[in-house]
Amino acid sequence: MSLNDPISDALNNINNAENSAKRTCMLNHSRFLEKVIDLLKKEGYVKQYKVLPKKPVNQIIIYLNGGINKCKSIKPRYSVKKTDFEKFEKSFLISRDVGLLIVSTTDGIMTHKEAKEKNLGGRLIGFVY
């Protein structure tokens, strides 16, 4: 596990755990990652997660429900205007209404659909379907 991009590592670990039909996935904790995992839980891609206090770094254990086909980070972190989401949906998602883009906005981490509704742009973090 590299320390250069923890979000990319985490999304890759989740993707690998789903592909090998594992029920859980253990990751190093960060508040940013926890917000991304919370978004995945809210959208139904993850069953549950818990933060475990461990030394020297807290851990997040994620309980998977088999709902993820692909989960990756987007690099470079493209800046997206509120009118340009369609272009990135075509690039990263398999179909128009299938999956979601994870976006970091001034109002926090949200899906591209929420960002469209709130008329916000931001930076693309990753995608899941």
Domains of the chain listed by start with CATH number: 6-64 (3.30.1370.30), 74-128 (3.30.1490.10)
- Collapsed DSSP state (helix, strand, coil) of residue 35: helix
- pLDDT tens-place string over residues 7-60: 999 999 999 999 999 999 999 999 999 999 999 999 999 999 999 998 888 999
- pLDDT tens-place string over residues 70-111: 999 999 999 999 999 999 999 999 998 899 999 999 999 999
Tell whether the torsion through CA atoms of 84, 86, 87 and 88 is positive or negative: positive
Tokens of 26: 């253990």
Q: What angle do CA 44, 50, 51 make, to 5 degrees?
A: 135
Predicted TM-score (pTM) of this structure: 0.91
